[in-house]
Structure 1
């Protein structure tokens, strides 16, 4: 076998999937294109001299968007919660300038981060810690030293003070000690020197528990970011050096097929007496997606997905009860909790990670809760060339929380050239 054996360790943080370590093997040129003009050699990711390792620190002041009366002052302190502040420490790696991966994906980088957050109300909200994966790339390059970039963060946060009927009864925005963390930011990067970059931009953040526990109003922020990045071994192939660049190979357009199997659990507010009553039960959710996807190029694929789901909370109902006794909740027949839908899908493809969105309707269903227009946001993380972890979230009508989609996926008829592997 030609080529090299590369070992890649990936962390994927989400609920019970707090840590994933995967070993991935590759053939041929591995991480790098023929531009390096060097023979391949076996190496660990962290020992490989052909990638740039980075350490960054950031501070992010933010504005808490007042989406609930708790944030407007309906809390123990009777003060508005308007400001947030977080500090972050991040490790990432980046492919060298001139490689196929760097040129195709705009200087893409990826890594892991940890953040500390405060909202000025430790007693009722806590000061949570976030652990997350992140990836970013350049959107536009103005000069060799100045570029406009994006980055997403996705992970978990812990250390919250959740709702409690006895001692934290005002906090109706978060019901669990562990919550999902999502962030997207856009920023300018200025190369101060060979080793240091300065970053400054804007960001948006969302915390929620994915409807796995009540309450789940969530917490949203918009703010700024300022940071500095140190690159341990920034490439000697600087932008000022004139190097011959091999033409990027033409992309082999083709249709691939993704099969995803997922499961999770959810909570449910059941209509009763003109309002919703929280059921004390957690209901299981299982499903699948089968999506033929046309691969248009290195960074985009689109298609149509067949979506099947069993939602154990669908069409659950309650009836009148005697005050002072426990209210009973009843499950309907199985056919009232099964649905088959069709959705249009689009995916943004990058090394290791794929971000996808979907818009769909259930075409075969038992009515009631399942007669729905649904939306899906998903992150696929490579395990091997043709398998991936799937973390998704489903909404109804763009605002009603539906359920998490935690699972594994398989890709068939995959002709995608993976220069990063």
Structure 2
């Protein structure tokens, strides 16, 4: 729901940039061995499993989403596994009317702690009512009560992704003032930073933050900016040691057309970001404190009825996997050596309709694939060594 708002901007700008399904011939397609696992239905009213995000957490896995009832009602749902094969549902403890109906759409782990974000649209204007969730010591996923205006209110735009790092947590998003973050020392109580002079919009640009990662020494937030005098968006990145004071970093677009950074991860000692570059997906890498526009892969479908966007990015060492919608369907690519990206076959390929989704999580040994085609949410796993290295 929240990702659709951001993606709609991408679609419009991409069309202006002249999106095309053409591109250089793809390298050989990878055919990994996907092993499907079964998520048990949580106790409560009947419905279907809807999945939105996953993360690895030490030796455990976590998957989050919702149960969608036959009447269209929703309730938050989460699952965990110690080996990726045997799964159990996690009890949830909502805090109010909206959290009892929330769809959990983002999740992250740090030092064994798990934080998720969920939302449910409602109220007079039908805007998302957002809350964070924290895994308690007793294994219950607890909604954290907060003021409505912390994430919502008249200035709300989006609350996108959460990441943990040494000393705390950061959420990336956007307000009417531009790119914003929410910072927490413990994953429970967040405070907003929405008027930082480097993050915020000004008379020459309108900024938004889409993803966040900790590189081991500082936070990095990535996103995009609409600039005065330029039709297409440009990529943006900011760094902070404490999450409160930010410094913008120069990111070369690598094109005169549309470019943005939608997901970011650590790839060994480098930061890897993936977004849209013109009519393809593009990569950017930060080495030695400097960003560089690197390879492109795939292509956007100019006949697609949905907005293209990057739905997942994971890395382990110098290996990476990207999930994305080309505007028509979701696809998977893997970095198969020497900065070469290869298409990956998947057991399902959801269309880009409504809240259908394909995304990924990973630990050092395994890639976990999350799929939702609007009728069922499903999970598969494959070893990294089946993905080209």
Q: Using structure 2 for the length normalisation, give the TM-score.
A: 0.30
Larger Rg over CA atoms: 1
